[in-house]
Chains A and B, each alone.
Chain A
Amino acid sequence: MSMDSAEDIKKHVKVYLMVFAALMVLTVITVGVASLSLTIPLAIALALVIATVKGSLVASYFMHLVSEKSPIYWTLMLTAAFFAVLMFVPLLAMLDSIGR
């Protein structure tokens, strides 16, 4: 992250505190949503959407991904592709009807 001047860093510190506040609010919302009597698919979808937003905030601002260099993005895109394959395995297992 290209932050050289003290002024720049002070501005970023303000952003960190705003992100912290947003993460706290989203944590409360996560627990609040879970206490509602929602159908299981809707509850799972909502919980994962909120977790993804929270994760994106952490990655973007605390891990500085909003202003990172391209080799890091390429590394993460490759990782995301392999991660997607891992998540695809349970789906393949569900669709597998051989021997049934």
Chain B
Amino acid sequence: MEIPYTVDTRADTGLNNVKLGIWLFLASEVMLFGGLFSSYVLLRVGAEAGTWPQGAEILSIPLATFNTIVLIGSSVTMVMAWASLKLRDLFKYRLYMGTTVALALVFLIVKAFEYADKFSHHLYPSESTFLGIYFLITGLHGLHIVGGIIVNSYFLLPGVKMWHTAPERFTNRVEAAGLYWHFVDLVWIFLFPVLYLL
């Protein structure tokens, strides 16, 4: 059975189902990360005076700044990949989407170095409340990066064949993947100052 309204807009919403569906998913994601941000605030304001470390005392600001630049860069290449499809330029799409996946991998590699450095100094999630919430939130964010890499790699390699049979539908798929990817970037934009700088 054909999935309805993957390209055509519904008369009642004025949107195709792809767009509405991904935004509803992102709304649930806001609540997921919102719960953790709320927990962070609760734990921080409830901590005894002088017991909550400044992120910079434990974490590496240069590495996190580099990763922020990498992730913002990947957001730009993602939106450029979608724009390339709109311009009917498959070569540039492959170039930008490939760069997006590569930048996501760079982010994960840097994060792995950060984690390894913490573990080598015996700084585990069980060490303190700060480290517990740091590993929880950044770990969950990292899992979202992994999910994005899997989806974007699919659209870069096997999934791209849809372009030749249903280009508009494929473009909408890439737009939905892009909305998810920009959300992951947006979460990091808030995580960076909250965990590392304050």
List of A residues within 8 angstroms of B79 by Cβ: 16, 62
Q: Is A98 an interface residue (CB 8 A)?
A: no
Q: Is B197 an interface residue (CB 8 A)?
A: yes
Q: Is B23 an interface residue (CB 8 A)?
A: yes
- Those of B11-57 within 8 Å (CB) of chain A: 13-15, 19-20, 23-24, 27, 30-31, 34-35, 37-38, 41-42, 45-46, 56
Interchain CB contact (< 8 A) of B182 among A13, A20, A63, A93: A63
Q: Is the CB of A9 within 8 A of B86?
A: yes
Q: Is the CB of B31 within 8 A of A86?
A: yes
Q: Is B192 an interface residue (CB 8 A)?
A: yes
Q: Is B137 an interface residue (CB 8 A)?
A: no
How many of A's residues come within 8 Å of B, CB to CB?
A: 45
- Bound Cα distance from A88 to B131, whole angstroms: 24
Say how far B84's CB is from chain A's closest CB, in angstroms. Answer: 9
Given A9-B86, A34-B56, A48–B76 Cβ distance below 8 Å? no
List of B residues within 8 angstroms of A54 by Cβ: 189
Q: Is B69 an interface residue (CB 8 A)?
A: yes
How many of B's residues come within 8 Å of A, CB to CB?
A: 46
Q: Is the CB of A9 within 8 A of B83?
A: yes
List of A residues within 8 angstroms of B86 by Cβ: 3, 9
- Those of B58-77 within 8 Å (CB) of chain A: 61, 65, 68-69, 72-73, 75-76
Say how far A73's CB is from chain B's closest CB, in angstroms. Answer: 10
List of A residues within 8 angstroms of B76 by Cβ: 16-17, 19-20, 62
List of B residues within 8 angstroms of A62 by Cβ: 75-76, 78-79, 178, 182, 185
Interchain CB contact (< 8 A) of B72 among A23, A69, A76: A23
List of A residues within 8 angstroms of B1 by Cβ: none
- Bound Cα distance from A7 to B15, whole angstroms: 23
Given A6-B87, A16-B79, A62-B75, A71–B15 Cβ distance below 8 Å? yes
9 contacts between A and B (CB under 8 A): A20-B73, A23-B72, A31-B61, A34-B56, A47-B193, A51-B190, A51-B194, A87-B37, A90-B38
Closest 10 CB pairs of A and B: A47-B193, A34-B197, A90-B42, A79-B27, A90-B41, A86-B38, A20-B76, A86-B34, A62-B182, A83-B34
Measuring CB to CB, which residues of chain A are less than 8 angstroms from any residue of chain B? 3, 6, 9-10, 12-13, 16-17, 19-20, 23-24, 27, 30-31, 34, 40, 43-44, 47-48, 50-51, 54-55, 58-59, 62-63, 69-72, 75-76, 78-79, 82-83, 86-87, 89-90, 93-94
